[in-house]
Structure 1
């Protein structure tokens, strides 16, 4: 019985991941209002009924997709902790955020679009879990300041700067490519972004 539940759980996880990937492309292309379950099913190459097996409707799918994106950001891309010196922690955080823009730009664009439209789905999250997470990161940065490890920077604005500068390469990729006169950004381009942003931000914090 236990093994069957594990197998069922793995299948569920795999199928939802497949649907999420298709949904990201659909929501980025058409926005929430223009997106359709029918096209998401076609993108995922699965019957439409399979989507309704896991999600009540488009709104439920969108809500769960946003929750999935946030959960990923708060685990895989969360390197800001008190167990590392600021240079190591900030450098790792900047790299992780840039690489997220490179490897999963759709997630960044969907999140940005949600906020631009007033965060109707994420409003509760922004006033609860997000504030708890943010306060913990602000406390870490303030500790570095108190210990004289970095300059007396405003923790909130430091985080805003990192978020905006790294996610810019996903959210405004068309503008970036036009400015750089490129058809696409390659691995070396993203490494150059990491190097530049890391140097600029660390120097602003007074870190060699």
Structure 2
């Protein structure tokens, strides 16, 4: 293997280490509380070495957010207009809940960005996210108009799904503190509860 190939492999490894460390630091301390020194220490690198890969804290943060957004939109993209309405919506609820379970740090990173007024992803929220939500809200509204689900405001339904699933990641410490030590995985109970909650909400009048 040539020195160049070896350097490329090392560079890829270091870049992954920096992003992994930054995700941990940003999710714990937010953008303002994170520092390059903290990220470098978490990554096991010197600050000058970190700056070789990323010129600033902002550049690291933007890279993380850019990679997160595609993952963040994927569960809603999978909502299929040709499917059965209630199973499709409950499938979306489950996918969002699993994201909270599997990507809690990413969820907190996203939440911190929103709480700051979305200075780095505002354009995406008003563009790609809004376009996708508009598209899926129209699908849900169509299902309601056809009597296949109960009358609901599709946008507030989506907001409710976000709130009730992301809570388990963003407020994980509170959830586990209230449930107490030794309790079962909260996500199992959450999945059953949310399926019942949204299933009852969405059931057409003649199915109740």
Asked if residue 204 in structure 1 is aligned to residue 201 in structure 2, the reply is yes
In 2, the alpha carbon distance for the partners of 1:11 and 1:155 equals: 48
* SS of equivalent to 1:56: coil
61-70 vs 17-26, which moves further: 17-26
Q: How far apart, CA to CA, are the structure 2 residues paired with 1:86 and 1:16?
A: 42
Q: How does 1:30-49 map to 2 (within 5 A)?
A: 30-49=29-48
> d(CA) in 1 for partners of 2:166 and 2:155?
16
Distance in 2 between the 1:51 and 1:149 partners?
54
Distance 1:13 1:191, change over 3 A: farther
Deviation at 1:128, TM superposition (A): 1.5
Please give the alpha-carbon distance, in whole angstroms, between the structure 1 residues aligned to 2:43 and 2:75. Answer: 25
Residue number in structure 1 paired with 2:164: 165
Q: Structure 1: which 4+ aligned runs deviate by more than 6 Å? A: 10-13
The offset of 1:63, in angstroms, is 1.3
| Unmatched tracts of structure 1, length 5 or more | none
Matches within 5 A, 1:173-192: 173-182=172-181, 186-187=184-185, 189-192=186-189
Q: What SS does the aligned partner of 1:75 have?
A: helix
Return the alpha-carbon distance in structure 2 between the equivalents of residues 18 and 78 of structure 1: 30
Determine the C-alpha separation between the residues in 2 that align with 1:17 and 1:148: 49
Distance change in 2, residues 1:83/1:125 (3 Å): same
Count of residue pairs brought into register by the alignment: 201
- Contact between 1:78 and 1:93, CA under 8 Å: does it hold in 2? no
CA deviation vs aligned residue, 1:16-75 (integer Å, no higher than 9, x gap): 443322111101222212212232122223444554344221111111211211111122
Q: Deviations over 1:68-122 (max 9, x none)?
A: 1111112266431213212222222111111111111111111111111211112
Q: Is the 8 A contact 2:79 2:88 kept in 1?
A: yes
Counterpart position of 1:152: 151
Is 1:25–1:106's contact at 8 Å kept on the other side of the alignment?
yes
TM-score scaled by length of structure 2: 0.84
Distance 1:148 1:53, change over 3 A: farther
